[in-house]
Amino acid sequence: QVQLVESGGGLVEAGGSLRVSCAASRTILGFNALGWYRQAPGKQRELVAQITSGGSMNYADSVKGRFTISRDYAKNTVPLQMNSLKPEDTAVYYCMGRRAGVTYWGQGTQVTVSS
The C-alpha angle with vertex 93 and arms to 1 and 86, in degrees rounded to 5, equals 165
Residue 86: CA count within 13 A, CB half-sphere: 7
* pLDDT at residue 30, as a whole number: 87
pLDDT band at 14 (very low <50, low <70, confident <90, very high): very high
* pLDDT at residue 17, as a whole number: 98
pLDDT digits (tens, 9 = 90+) for 40-96: 999 999 999 999 999 999 999 999 999 999 999 999 999 999 999 999 999 999 999
Tell me the residue type at 74.
A
* pLDDT at residue 100, as a whole number: 92
